[in-house]
Structure formats: C-alpha cells, structure tokens
Amino acid sequence: MAALKFAGMDDTDSEDELPPGWEERSKKDGWVYYASHDGMKTQWEHPKTRKKKRCAGDLPYGWEQETDEKGQMIYVDHINKRTIYFDPRQAFTVEDMVLKPKRYDGNTAALEILQGRDFSDKVVLITGGNSGIGLETARSFTLHGAHVILACRNLSRASKAASLIQQEWHKARVEAMMCDLASLRSVREFTESYKARKLPLHILVCNAAVCTRPWSLTEDGLESTFQICHLGHFLLIQGLEDVLRRSAPARVVVVTSESHRFTDLLDSCAKVDLALLSPQKKEYWSILAYNRAKLCNILFSNELHRRLSPHGVTANAVHPGNMMYTSIHRSWWLMTFLFSLARPFTKSCMTPLSGYSKCGAQTKS
C-alpha cells in the first residue's frame, strides 16, 4: 500500500478503478491500453492490477467504428444518431484469457452464431432468400459484411427483401437476381449471368424449397416438388462448380429436412426406382414427394463433398430444426391450418422491430 500511495494510486475504492490522471482507451482490434496524462506514457497493463484486457465480441447492434477527418477513431450509434470517441464495448471488457467455445442450442439465432466473424471479403449466394430461413440467413451474413446475392423466382419480392436489409444497415451489400428453380433454362441463364460478372463465390446456400403443393409439371416435364427442391439446385451447383473451385476455400450448404427418414427410393424388389422421383399424378403424394427430394439432397451433398473437398470446397446438408413456423406449407390449406394450431409451440419467425424471419438459420454458419 505504501508503494501505491507513493505512486498516487491509493485514492480509488475499486481494484479496477483507474488512479487519477489515467485513461482507458482501446485499439481498433479491441485491445485496451492505458494512457497516463501526468506521465505522458501508455501501457497495455492496468496500472493497478497489471492485467491486460480486451473488448469482447462485436460492437453493439446499430454501432459502427469509423475514422473522423483528423484520423481519430470514432464510434457511431446509427439508432440514436450520436457519435462518441469511447468504445461502447469497454464497459464489458474481459481479461486476457483463453475463452471456452460457446455452446449453441435451439434458441440460438443466426446473428449469435456469426458474432465476431468478418465476412467482408466473402460473396454469399442464397436461393429463396426473400423470406423465411433464407431471409434471416441473408440478413445475418450481410450484417457481418458479406456481399449477399438473393437468387429468387420473384424478383420484385427479392428486391424488397434486399431493400429491408439495406434500411437496417446503410453499408449493406445485398442484391437480387432472377433464378427460377422450376425452369432449367432459368437456372442455366442465372449461372451464365453470374459467371459473366467475374465474382467469386465462397458460400452457396441451397435453401429454396416447396412443400405440400398440388401435383404439377414444370416446363421441363418434371414433377415440380422434385425439380424445385432438388434438381434445380443440382443444376445450379453444376453450373457454378468452377467458380466455387476458383474461390476455395468455399462451401455449399444444402438445407434438407429430418423428414428424409420417412421415405426411400426403392421399389418392391429393393432396387432404386428413379421413376419415384417424378411420379405421375395418380402416384403422387405431396409429403412423400418432399421427403424424397430431401433424401436426394443428402445423397447429393455427401457425394459432392467427396468429389470437391480435395479442391477446397466442402458440402454440408443441414436440418434447420423442428417446430419452426415458416411459409413453406402455404400451398395446402390443411397444412397451413395445422401449423397455425401449432404456432404457439413453434419457434418464432418474426421480429417485431423489423419483420424479419428469426428462426432456424443457425445451422448455416
């Protein structure tokens, strides 16, 4: 104590409280340092505890780090329209130590999964990114700096979704492109348009799907559920395979479903019957068609990973979670009614402030 008193450090009540004449500051990378105005010096260690600290995690929601005209670091609060020179994370600094990996569960949202990650040098392509899980995935990647492209059938709705994300963050890089998975011609046109832009592709999320829709054939003469849920994505990945390889390390994420377990592709002789994938109307059942398409997703993802992983491209099939309310069932009134009854027990897909989907996308990190 005598040494502290001699150094002028005994006038504080708390061990972490700074002595008179000292100021706590932070670097751009989050590390905290201490400046002595009396001694005209700076140091990494706390003047009393001799411990190093850093600011943990990302800036709070709505905050952004910028530099003013004098080159000094400032922090902008876009929500409350204010600017300060003090890092708001300094109120929650942590000591320099090895942190245990965080565990995630069914209540974890996509933004939590991506916290602390920088995707500013990544290009992400998401099919069906204008609603549901796809929109929340797009939003999460965009708010972490990625250049996100929404590949959707309805260009108007996709552009509106992109606009919503841009309203949330003025620096958001998100755009919409036309891609109708129910048309193999449209998929080919999309891949050619994408490659013509000379963009890399680091993450491809095959999210778009339909379920419980009446039997119908696409313009290619194939059953629509099978083509939209699987075959369209198969062709999309084939068309962009060379882009993925050049962009390595890259990954493909195929959103599938646990319901793949409730079907098979075998006939009565235990042989693979490809006719089951695009059945005639009299043999069609919408739930079974969806389950078969999801089984194809998994088989394809496994084989894709085997072939492309030596080239730096990984492939993963993910189940987004059960008891989740989305609009995938909108084609059948009965399923919509059943989902409405179960909605109080499902994960919420709406955020009151923004109207965004907030469920299930945690599997796409």
Centroid of chain to Cα 96:
29
- d(CA 277, CA 44) in angstroms, rounded, equals 64
Residues making up the chain, counted from first to last:
365
SS3 sequence of 331-349 = CCHHHHHHHHHHHHHCECC
Phi/psi for 227 (5° steps) reads -70, -45
Q: How many CB atoms lie within 10 A of CB 8?
A: 13
Q: Which of 75, 290, 325, 356 is catalytic?
A: 290
Angle at 245 between CA 241 and CA 246, to 5 degrees: 120
Cβ distance 319 to 360 under 8 Å?
no
Mark whether 85 is an active-site residue. Answer: no
Strands (E), 153-267: 173-178, 203-206, 250-255
- Rounded Cα distance, 333 and 292, in Å: 22
CA atoms of 131 and 312, how far apart (whole Å): 30
CA nearest neighbour of 157 among 137, 140, 125, 132: 132
Q: Quick count: other Cβ atoms within 10 Å of Cβ 157? A: 14
The C-alpha atoms of residue 145 and residue 321 are separated, in whole angstroms, by: 26
Contact (CB, 8 A) for 241 and 251:
no
Q: Where are the beta strands (DSSP E) in the chain?
A: 22-26, 32-36, 41-43, 53-55, 63-67, 73-77, 82-84, 93-95, 123-127, 147-152, 173-178, 203-206, 250-255, 313-318
CB contact at 8 A, 196 and 188? no
* Strand pairing report for 313-318 and 250-255: parallel
Annotated catalytic residues are 290
